[in-house]
Amino acid sequence: MLEVKPKVLLIDDEESILKVISTILKNEGFTVITAKSKKEALQKLDNIKFDIILSDYRLPDGTGIQILEEFRNEDLITPFIMITAYGSINGAVEAMQKGASHYISKPIDSSQLVEIINFHLKKASFTNEIKEFEGIIGKSSQMKELFKEISIISQSNSTVLIEGESGTGKELVAKAIHKLSQRKDKPFIPINCSAIPLELFENELFGHEKGAYTGANTKTVGKIELAGEGTLFLDEIGEMPQLIQAKLLRVLQEKEFFRVGGNEIVKMKCRVISATNKNLEAMVEEGTFREDLFYRINVVHLRIPPLRERKEDIPLLVNQFLKKYSLENNKEIVDIDPQVIEIFLKYDWPGNVRELENAIERAVVMCPIDKIKIEHIPKRIINKAISKNNKNNLQTNTYNLNEIERKIILSALEEENWNQTRTAQKLGISRKQLRTKMKNLGLLPS
């Protein structure tokens, strides 16, 4: 199998460092492209898709952090490793906060560098795996399963019933099935069964002939005919009046119908996909939904899990909606406070993806700066998230500054065998400062 070499962008203004690191990385099988300034790096990032980026902190026309910030606007996944000067804990903390995947302090240990690069490449390819399918975002195992089912189902002609709570993406899934099917160039016609009054329902489905009733001045084609050889999407089918249920059943059996007031047979050629947020089986038991129709429309059954059952999809969805609404509102929202994500992960999202989408849209509109913070999120969501879990967790946010600093200090301590003097030197702080930080972080008894 032909393996493509991973592409590395190496940013440093020192010729000798570029040479040494390039040689090491080339020997390890990477393609290395170099840049000697911020300007050159940004230009290359614009034109080339790299697998990993390695940047020095200080550059003649700016800093590696500035490159990182611009880059993270566009790309949240590609690993970015910052090389910081020996003894610059602040630089390392800043880099991690701004979204660096790792920091390495000089002098660089080549075997460690290769190990870190390989680790992050592997991790990124893992995250990159699948996160979108026909416009449906998701990487949870439940969504991956659903993607598989959609691709299989799209190749058949059987009726499909999509079940899912409000806002889980039922319409999105119906459209994906249509787009992947052989009917993709034919119409996709939705009918919202909850929005049509009984007296207009037949008209909507079957159309009418001229003069069928008072006011019917012209012949009108109904949605089944409009769908032609495409897909008819019966949304909220649980709301379909019983009288119409009977008529629909008949059409699904006979595959033909008359327009209202007509006697010309019209063939039904479309595929039917239905969706509901009701429990249709329970409705059948209760006698409010026809059992025979239920079996007709439910040859294949798809269930979209509610968002609370697949919370790992939340960060992906957040990114997607941030991009979408920043663009729509002409704003450059580049960042979101990790505390907000934490709240989002705790909240149960009764309105599912639609509710999340609305929350992000609102936050983008409300946000006067380039970063979404907790104050841009509806109080209702925050209160519910907090009351659900204990409030302390909010302070011990795993992404927060303390945690980043703790990681940096811990790894420096480990590298220096817990020798405080050498660790302090490495981090560029006094031994006393190090001891204070260690106490605050619970690494030393206070």
Ligand X SMILES: Nc1ncnc2c1ncn2[C@@H]1O[C@H](COP(=O)(O)OP(=O)(O)OP(=O)(O)O)[C@@H](O)[C@H]1O
Selected binder of ligand X within 36, 98, 131, 170 (CB under 6 A): 170
* CA distance linking residue 438 with residue 446, whole number of Å: 9
* Shortest spacing between CB 225 and Mg ion, in angstroms: 23
- Closest-approach residue to ligand X (CB): 169
- Other CB atoms within a 10 A radius of the CB of residue 199 amount to 9
Q: Which stretch binds ligand X (CB under 6 A): 12-20, 60-68, 102-110, 133-141?
A: 133-141
Task: Pick what 357 binds: ligand X, Mg ion, none; C-beta below 5 to 8 Å, kind-dependent.
Answer: ligand X
The CA distance from 150 to 121, in Å, is: 30
Q: How far is the CB of 347 from ligand X (least distance, A)?
A: 16
Secondary structure in 3-state letters for 217-244: CCCEECHHHHHCCCEEEEECHHHCCHHH
| Binding range to ligand X, per CB under 6 A, among 73-81, 100-108, 295-303, 351-359 | 351-359
Task: Kindly state the smallest distance separating residue 170's Cβ from Mg ion, in Å.
Answer: 5
Tell me which H or E stretch contains 296.
Answer: helix 291-297
Question: Segment contacting ligand X (CB under 6 A): 18-26, 27-35, 118-126, 135-143?
Answer: 135-143
What is the closest distance, in whole angstroms, from the C-beta atom of residue 353 to ligand X in the complex?
3
Total residues interacting with Mg ion, rule: CB under 5 A: 1
Cβ neighbours for 213, distance < 8 A, ≥ 6 positions apart:
260, 261
CB of 170 to ligand X, least distance (A): 3
Q: Which of 64, 79, 99, 164 binds ligand X (CB under 6 A)?
A: 164
Q: Which of residues 55 and 277 has its CB atom nearest to ligand X in the complex?
A: 277
For residues 231 and 186, the answer to whether their CB atoms sit within 8 Å is yes
Q: Which does 137 bind (CB under 5 to 8 A by kind): Mg ion, ligand X, none?
A: ligand X
- Applying CB under 6 A, which part among 21-29, 349-357, 385-393, 405-413 lies near ligand X? 349-357
Answer for which of 13, 28, 40, 171 binds Mg ion (CB under 5 A) is 171
Concatenate the DSSP letters of all residues of 336-375 into one string: E-HHHHHHHHHS--TTHHHHHHHHHHHHHHH--SSEE-GG
Cα 439 to Cα 140: distance, rounded to the nearest angstrom: 39
Q: Is 169 among the residues that bind ligand X (CB under 6 A)? A: yes
Asked if 166 is part of the footprint of ligand X (rule: CB under 6 A), the reply reads yes
Given a contact cutoff of 8 angstroms between Cβ atoms, the answer to whether 337 and 373 are in contact is: yes
Question: From the list 277, 298, 326, 423, which residue makes contact with ligand X (rule: CB under 6 A)?
Answer: 277
Q: How far apart are CA 6 and CA 165, in angstroms?
A: 42
Applying CB under 6 A, among 172, 180, 212, 410 the residue interacting with ligand X is: 172
Q: How far is the CB of 306 from ligand X (least distance, A)?
A: 10
Q: Does 91 bind ligand X (CB under 6 A)?
A: no
Q: Using alpha carbons, list the distances in angstroms from residue 404 to 323, 326, 401.
A: 26, 28, 5
Residue 353 binds to ligand X (criterion: CB under 6 A): yes
**Residue with the CB atom nearest Mg ion in the bound state:** 171
Q: Alpha carbon of 366 to those of 82, 363, 374: distances in Å?
A: 33, 5, 11
Closest separation between CB of residue 235 and Mg ion, Å?
Answer: 5
Q: Using the rule CB under 6 A, which residue among 357, 376, 424, 429 binds ligand X?
A: 357
Nearer to ligand X, 70 or 171 (CB): 171
Of 16, 129, 11, whose CA–CA distance to 59 is shortest? Answer: 11
Nearer to ligand X by C-beta: 202 or 313? 313
Residue 70 near which of ligand X, Mg ion, none (CB within 5-8 Å, type-dependent): none
Q: Are 229 and 268 in contact (CB under 8 A)?
A: no
Smallest distance, ligand X to C-beta of residue 75, A:
19
Least distance in Å: CB of 327 to ligand X? Answer: 15
CA atoms within 13 A on the CB side of 202: 17
Beta-strand pair 132-133/136-137: antiparallel
177 vs 438, which CB is nearer to Mg ion? 177
Interaction between residue 168 and ligand X (CB under 6 A): yes
Q: Which residue number, 353 or 385, has a Cβ lying nearer to ligand X?
A: 353
DSSP 395-428: HT-TTSHHHHHHHHHHHHHHHTTT-HHHHHHHHT
Site membership for ligand X, residue 231 (CB under 6 A): no
Which residues share a beta bridge with 269? none
C-alpha–C-alpha distance, residues 249 and 271, integer Å: 14
Q: Which of 239, 252, 244 is closest to 280 using CA atoms?
A: 239
One residue of 53, 67, 104, 137 binding ligand X per CB under 6 A: 137
Q: Are 333 and 367 in contact (CB under 8 A)?
A: yes
Which residue, 302 or 333, is less far from Mg ion as judged by CB? 302
Chain residues in the site for Mg ion (CB under 5 A) = 171
Chain residues in the site for ligand X (CB under 6 A) = 136-138, 164, 166-172, 277, 317, 353-354, 357
